[in-house]
Structure 1
């Protein structure tokens, strides 16, 4: 059974803006990027929708901090929707907000909704480097919904310096390499091949920040313009957030879209989706070889799309995320996992990437209709997950009415979480590790997450000068996961890790 037309949610308009002025003082601020993207999306839908919008969701901004974000944007647009919400941080939030807007439309609580995002990190960085004061809306002394680092990482993570996404995703990359029976060089080859394919997609996307194709070797091999960031990731394997971009999506009912004369081959239908999360403290996760939250949301997506997906967008901030997702979904390694170009090549307007991915998916489905396509977004560091199933025709009503929260499924699959013993000294084996590089491309510091003979978890800082310890961690020929070592507690109270 399908929903009645006045309760069937459809995407009818998309808009994207890429802003590249040579002079950062001429760059559009995030509010202006969103304004332009929304007007482009309205025009894409045939025009005349803005005055009737009853709901607007604004994705959290990082590059420029405002107060009263929703009211400022509404004033620029000259609209006054009944519902205006500025969201919290998360790479999965565009997917979530689109899903939630669709549910409100299905329930009769909304008729016309907008989701929008905008970032100008490139202009902000260039202005700072040049000592230029940007002629934008003054930043707020107390901005709305700022990132609070202590909400995302613990004091222990901060003391170890393993606190940014680029430091933490390698914990999964290095653990999965061993779990899948790969050598590091084989895992790099998989990453390089996959990322080369999405760079081809970015090269053909007129909205990409880096519309250039790269070979697998050029992606995984360190070079002066592709330095190591954190083992085994080079710059081209890491999300690029120094972009100026805006995006918007307009949703309404099938009935209103038909009334406006929009051809159904230009509409994209929302079929349903799911959300789940891992513990924020990565030391409190059961393991690093997969994510039970990712598996839960992708499992729900597969139940909605029983026959599988014609095309997919798998969040690609770091290679481990789409590689894990590909295995869960059972996708062939030759299948391109992005219709957008990926966060390294298309660009990463911070929390807004999946909104651009939605625009790209809409274009793809308009060009070549398909029953089911997947938008999978992720936030934090393998922390928050949201999958959304869309298609070129209406889906079953039951699918959209399924609960979007599948946290119980994730918890049912979660293994026992090891006790973290920060005072332990003695023998242990490597569970996983992260080595962070400096701007010259040399190892700077790192830490090992280990397991004691009793199965407890430890967290040992690596002495970079200790080549006996560091060498095996950086080997391309064999994974060091499972290797024996020794933990000691130093005078500063932190555990230290040494090989042997």
Structure 2
């Protein structure tokens, strides 16, 4: 092997549940520090590795993921260096990655390239969330002091949330992922020609095997096994949160989890005495950024993820049939459906689509979930030498997709970049936006948001000229009609309110 071939040599995870006997209400930095130490230990090196780190990169917690985000108990001024301090490391560089669940895989792709070019000798990637602990302590009226000031440089890459969401969607009530993904999901339902009950069961069939994987994962926040029918059934414990999603179909953000990945070169691993049975190679990768939701011709599809997935497999020189282990980002069913279908994996394929249990069951550790997926993937591939694994990591509103193809099988570093893929995506022709005077059309997709004091609807519509527009449904009688009748394909007439928004005033065949 070439000396500068990049490899993963260690992975680590840390977690705690609020009902566990040893619950310690760890801060995000403490959870990430424990995971980082576990990754160093996992390498089984003959020499100390922490002093050899010359770069540490961290994923943002939700509480530092926007200019208006609030950290209730305070936070570090330099999160990656707070983690480095906990493992007695003092790397030359510290990076704080932009927002998005693609971040962990994107960093593996980027830093592998830097290692292969000789720019980085050894790098640690880490992240964590303590959302469950924050809510638990605040619910009891308790507080903690998690503020830290750490000296040292920080390469803060910014939030990276600009241009992810259309203002028109946000102004009509689709601001959060659950509302926007519900629009994607119902667009897919319409494309599949399924009614609500049939599609609910399809989502349940997708996620039921995930619960079985989570059941055997010691770091999973929920280890309860559910059938497809139980996941689809709307009950007081599985209430609708946004049509078509019951609570158990969406990412579980109440998690206390940290994970870390340790990368270096073959040359460095040998020098540090890391056994070769710890080595896992990145055979291929890709990173793409999708258009904003309303600029996509088909709101049921994720073509940027398809391009990234195919490119990563091409670079790796393997086909989908050669992949033994998958982890497809699973914040909502549509994120899995789209990539699974683009890859040509059949619904009845026996290969699990997660190695962790997925975000609704393992836990949606903010932007850091896929760090756990990579950690589980590395352990799974070490247990099946020569097999191939595929990690697909998603960020934003089906906005950013990063892919990695892994194996213990030796592979000379080929290098890759995604500039050509991104140029293709940027060149796609967007759909036509309806003019301001357009006030009627048919429903392309919709959701009903049950998270408000009163349920409200959000519509994406097409005019007779096939121009797209957004409307809100706030009249309780019309919302009830949406609940009782099929909104997809329904005719809609709107008016304008004093804020310039379109409000539906009639809805029907």
Q: Under a length normalisation based on structure 1, what TM-score does the superposition of the two structures give?
A: 0.90
Q: Alpha carbon RMSD of aligned pairs, Å? A: 2.6
Counterpart selection for 2:346 from 332, 352, 357: 332
Matched residue of 2:35: which SS?
Answer: helix
Shift in alpha-carbon separation, 1:307–1:278, aligned structure 2, 3 A: closer
Unmatched 5+ residue regions in structure 2? 64-70, 151-155
* 1:291 pairs with 2:311: no
- 1:359 is the counterpart of 2:372: no
CA distance in 2, matches of 1:385, 1:473: 33
**In structure 2, distance between residues paired with 1:113 and 1:150:** 28
Distance 1:75 1:264, change over 3 A: closer
Which residue of structure 2 aligns with residue 499 of structure 1?
Answer: 507
Q: Deviations over 1:435-475 (max 9, x none)?
A: 111379xx6111111011122211111135225x6545665
Question: Which residue does the alignment assign to 2:103?
Answer: 93
Change in Cα spacing, 1:405 to 1:188, as seen in structure 2 (3 Å) is farther
Matching of residue 77 in structure 1 with residue 87 in structure 2: yes
Deviation of residue 129 (structure 1)? 1.2
Flag the 1:129–1:250 CA change in 2: closer, same or farther, 3 A: same
Which range moved further: 171-180 or 480-489?
Answer: 480-489
| Matched-pair contact (CA < 8 Å) for 2:58–2:127 | yes
Map 1:9-408 onto structure 2 (within 5 A). 9-22=6-19, 26-47=24-45, 48-63=48-63, 64=71, 65-137=75-147, 152-280=164-292, 282-304=293-315, 305-308=317-320, 309-334=323-348, 335-398=351-414, 400-403=415-418, 406-408=421-423
Task: Say if 1:418 and 1:455, in contact at 8 Å, map to a contact too.
Answer: yes
Distance in 2, Cα, partners of 1:224 & 1:203: 23
Worse overlay, 63-72 or 450-459: 63-72
Q: Is contact 1:239-1:343 (8 Å) kept?
A: yes
CA contact (8 A) 2:82 2:148 kept: no
> Matches of 2:96 and 2:371 in 1, distance apart?
15
**Cα distance change on mapping 1:287 and 1:411 into 2, 3 Å:** same
Q: 1:21 to 1:487 in 2, by over 3 A?
A: closer
Sort the Cα spacing of 1:202 and 1:453 in 2 relative to 1 into closer, same or farther, 3 A: same
Q: Which residue of 2 aligns with 1:487?
A: 494
Preserved contact between residue 424 and residue 488 of structure 1 (Cα < 8 Å): no
Whole-angstrom CA distance in 2 between matches of 1:474 and 1:231: 12
Mark the CA change 1:278 to 1:470 in structure 2 (over 3 Å): closer, same or farther: farther
**2: CA distance, partners of 1:420 / 1:77:** 56
What secondary structure does 1:401 align onto? Answer: coil
Q: Which residue of 2 aligns with 1:428?
A: 441
Q: Which moved more, 1:254-263 or 1:220-229?
A: 254-263
Structure 1's unaligned 5+ residue stretches are none
SS at 1:313 equivalent? strand
